Amino acid sequence: MQSPDGLPKNIVLIGLMGCGKTTIGRKLQGMLGYPMVDTDQLIEEKAGMTIPEIFARRGEQSFRELESAVLNELSAPNAPRRIIATGGGIIGRKHNRRLLSSLGYVVWLQAPVDVILQRTARNRDRPLLQTDNPREKIEKLLIERSPLYHQIADLELETAGLETEEIACGILESARYHFAAKP
Ligand SMILES: Nc1ncnc2c1ncn2[C@@H]1O[C@H](COP(=O)(O)OP(=O)(O)O)[C@@H](O)[C@H]1O
Ligand SMILES: O=C(O)C1=C[C@@H](OP(=O)(O)O)[C@@H](O)[C@H](O)C1
Ligand SMILES: [Mg+2]
């Protein structure tokens, strides 16, 4: 499929909490002029609760079920082109990884643990980090999840020290090159 902006498919943002998926997704929406969706926001709409409320009242497994359901919906045939920001744990399930890969150009946003800690300390809306030792939790998740992010990433991008504008421009340039090489 050809497209005038050189991006025939969705852009999918993956990576650990605090790497900037939601922020960069919004930036790309402003630059590309087509909609961005965030799986976390769709989950909250579906559940009628915030993410901390879902974790507290129903537990993480229930959150993961909702996450998979939302991803299935985004994968419907003939769904419009979008920028898709995901939650950091969406890659845990094999079926989710398969869907994400087929949805489009998958970008793994990265940041060092110190930067993640700094960025995520600004609010309390990430239940997995509401522990006595969030650093330990981030390090553990990074070890567990990095191979899974790597499995499906078309692009791996270090974000520390970069402005959001630079990151978004870098993604667009790489995506266009990717689709030009593999139409
Ligand atoms: N490149 C960046 N430079 C500085 N701060 C950033 C950058 N990307 C994201 N942030 C900040 O980090 C925090 C977490 O970003 P967010 O987009 O919510 O991450 P994610 O969706 O991956 O969890 C936000 O406060 C955001 O403004
Ligand atoms: O890493 C995770 O398992 C999670 C990441 C969060 O999204 P962000 O990565 O956007 O913070 C959110 O989906 C939920 O709190 C669980
Ligand atoms: Mg987010």
pLDDT in tens, 129-164: 999 999 999 999 999 999 999 999 999 999 999 999
Is 159 annotated for ligand binding?
A: no
pLDDT in tens, 50-70: 999 999 999 999 999 999 999
**Contact 83/37 with Cβ under 8 angstroms?**
yes
Q: Which DSSP symbol is given to 153?
A: -
Is 18 annotated for ligand binding?
A: yes
Which pLDDT score, from 0 to 100, does residue 2 have? 56
Structural domains in the chain plus CATH codes: 10-181 (3.40.50.300)
Name every protein residue with a CB atom under 6 angstroms from any ligand 2 atom.
17, 21-22, 40, 51, 87-89, 126-128
44 CB-near residues (< 8 Å, 6+ apart)? 50, 51, 54
Buried b (16+ CB within 10 A) or exposed e, 43-70: bbeebebebeebbeeeeeeebbebbbeb
Mutate to test the pocket of ligand 1, among 23, 40, 164 (most ligand atoms within 8 A of CB): 23
**Contact 148/97 with Cβ under 8 angstroms?**
yes
Is 131 annotated for ligand binding?
A: no
Average of per-residue pLDDT values in the chain: 96
Binned at pLDDT 50, 70 and 90, residue 118 comes out as very high
**Contact 105/6 with Cβ under 8 angstroms?**
no
Whether complex ipTM tops 0.90:
yes
Binned at pLDDT 50, 70 and 90, residue 183 comes out as low
Backbone phi, then psi, for 176, in 5-degree steps? -65, -40
